[in-house]
Amino acid sequence: MTILVLLMFLVPAVLGLFVVGLVVLLLTRSRVAPQPVVAPGPHGPVAVPSTWNVQLLGTGVLGRMGSSLASTYGTLTLADGRLAFTPDGATVREWDVPCAEVWVRRQGVGPFAVASVRLYGPMGDLECNVSREHINRISANSLKDFREAGYATQFVAAAQAHGARVA
């Protein structure tokens, strides 16, 4: 009798764990296909313009910890060999610099880095997180962090195609 009761609880528990594992696997594997960095042009490959959501981390203690309280959010635009930042809610760019004057570095391992990209140039030394998706400001989303780790690598490749130097 006790084996029958044990099986009544064990089978649904194992099935439930299987379903949860399958859902987690599917959610972490759903990735947006990388956008092309270059496209064929009339005289050879041309760098493709792209727009990225960005979180610029602050310079204080909260910024070093990756806090959204010390961060500035906006968009980075790569076009015609230039890198520009426009804060959320603004109509004009805060800065617009030639990519040839910018150093870009991918840092950290996967989603475990506080800042996945570092930019050096006329705009200063900036630590940031880039994404093709909306960047969460209030709550964390661990599954989304795994996807965003890949966006940093794509951004570095796109910036390099526009003339930025990789550190």
pLDDT attached to residue 141: 63
105 and 79 fall within a common domain: yes
116 and 145 fall within a common domain: yes
Mean pLDDT (whole number) for 24-41: 62
pLDDT attached to residue 31: 55
What is the CATH classification number for the domain harbouring 90?
Answer: 2.30.29.30
13 and 61 fall within a common domain: no
Closest CA to 121 of 152, 100, 94: 100
C-alpha span between 76 and 85 (Å, rounded)? 5
Does residue 35 belong to any structural domain of this protein? no
Express each pLDDT in 124-136 by its tens digit: 999 998 988 888 7
Residue 25: domain span:
1-30
Q: Any idea which residue has 């940031």 for tokens?
A: 128
102 and 132 fall within a common domain: yes
Report whether 105 contacts 117 (CB < 8 A): yes
Please tell me the total count of domains within the chain. Answer: 2
Positive or negative CA dihedral for 69, 73, 109, 29?
Answer: positive
Closest CA to 49 of 76, 30, 87, 21: 76
Q: Which amino acid is at 25?
A: L
Does residue 57 belong to any structural domain of this protein? yes
Does residue 62 belong to any structural domain of this protein? yes
Does residue 50 belong to any structural domain of this protein? yes
Closest CA to 96 of 112, 80, 118: 80
Does residue 136 belong to any structural domain of this protein? yes
15 and 46 fall within a common domain: no
56 and 121 fall within a common domain: yes
The pTM for the full model equals: 0.72
